[in-house]
Structure 1
Amino acid sequence: MSQPIRVLLQTTIPTAADDWHIGRFSQLAQTLAAASGADGAPLFEVTARDRGPVGQPDPVLSTLDRSGFDQLWLFAVDVGDGLHDADCEAIGRFRGRGGGVLVARDHMDLGCSICSLAGIGAANYFHTHNLDPDPARRQIDDRDTAYILWPNFHSGANGDWQHVVAVGEPHPVLHDPDEANGVLAYLPSHPHEGAVDAPAGDASARVIAQGRSKATGQAFNLAVAFESKDGGGRAIAQSTFHHFADYNWDPRLGCPSFVSEAPGDAIRQHPHALDATRRYVRNVALWLAGRDVAVA
């Protein structure tokens, strides 16, 4: 019997009731904790936490390379101060020793502290940090929420779902035997997703999934996968943490008071989309750990 994969789910903000604290990702944590393998044994051991005080090393992230965790899911919900230099350095060492990392940010500059992460940070484009190298893509997409500027791809309302299009050879994290073609087709939508892309010159990275804006028809990247390189761990850069948030899986679970857009409920009306999302979560966690997604 294999040991459970030890997963750390962590935000880049201290606990704050009216923000995207780690408690707003409870459905994700429960999905991973409930997953079992063919032998019935738990696949994952999950720890979920917010960061410590801002302005100093986080006690867990800054020692991550010396921890027993196998992978980090980092929800970058800060406004630029979410990671200390010591945190970034330890995350880099963690991945260097084989640890898996998923990083998920959001629109504009939300989560821009991740720009300091080696490798995966370069896959994230923001409004004032690490700008998209193509000026033509620095354009407002969602115009309904006027105070949010680019990148802000409108894939749909919170609580609705979007179609996912595999890019190139379907990546293992998109494996879905419930689809006729075996490829996952749905993820939660969000009114203003961020921008991710494979960094120029990094042969280990490729875009694996795209969505399409319901505002402009523009295709945009949902996820970038980094293969293991020089013994390092795998990684995923996700366009928005809302793919994993409770509010996007079920709006009845609530959101911070600053969220102004009216939610939808299509994902509750279309359970297959939520099933696909849960499968994606399981696939990502297995793939980051170097496990075979199709047989686990």
Structure 2
Amino acid sequence: MTWQPMARQWPQQKIKWLAGLDTLKEHAAQQQRLTNLRLAKLESTAHELPVTSVADDLLSKANQSLTQHFEQAPACLVLTPFQPGIGQGQGKHRFLSANNLLDQLGNHLLDAQATRHEDHYALAIMILAASPAELATSLATFNTLLPLLELQRCERRARLLATLENEKWHKPVAAPLPQWGTVALAQTPVVREAHQALRSQLRLMETSVAAQPPLHALQHLAERKVAHQQATEQRLAAAQGNPANTGEVRNVQVRRVGPGNLQELRRQLLEGDKPGHEWIMCAGAILVGDQQALACVSELVGL
């Protein structure tokens, strides 16, 4: 045996079984032609079922209510210890105490894009923690309920800092080299593209060969609609009864103030008891809008 240069070629022997699919292709084409003829006959005898005016009115009201309740987004501002000018410290040692966070929320409330002479409401959210690990855990709980982009970034960074803090005490152990492994043939570009093309072709042939009469297809479509409706109802029921979406979260404090202009909202927000400085890794958000815009978020956080 001698060494020889690599010659790139298509694996003909490995897929020579494709030659036996010519008969299947002809059968699939014939089934498609018969299906087109049956559909043409069905179209000549089918009649369109009118939608009643009552159903039209109900659908219109449902879509309008959905738009009013879920598409009215209030203005939102998020503060985290990793934002420049917000947190204290440098590098990976960043801090933002709960008391300072509340003051920052009150100060930035005056910058909200709102009409100053109109009455508004404000919803303040404070995530309290004493370490990056605790902050990441609290943010993970909150982000499953109300994901905000800046809070998601803060969660990832806090989790990385917690992992870095934990792993610096672990002594790395190198594995013995070299090691045996497997060849990821499916990740080879040529093999991957060929596999996808062949799989699509086989799926197309399967649907053509298994073509059903139009009435059977319509019956199957109706059954799929019923199954889809039941699945959506189950998803809604599961979301409403999910234990992860219920219960108190001690490390997340919420408060709603208003009505009033921005100065009045700030005064109400800073009144009363404040969290102590023992919470040194905190993040928060403040939402400003009218009562209708804050209704959904208020219910989500238990107000």
TM-score class, shorter: under 0.3
After TM superposition, the score normalised by the length of structure 1 is 0.18
State the structure with bigger RCO (CA 8 A, min sep 6), 1 or 2: 2
TM-score by length of 2: 0.18
Structure in which a larger fraction of residues adopt strand: 1
More helix by share: 2
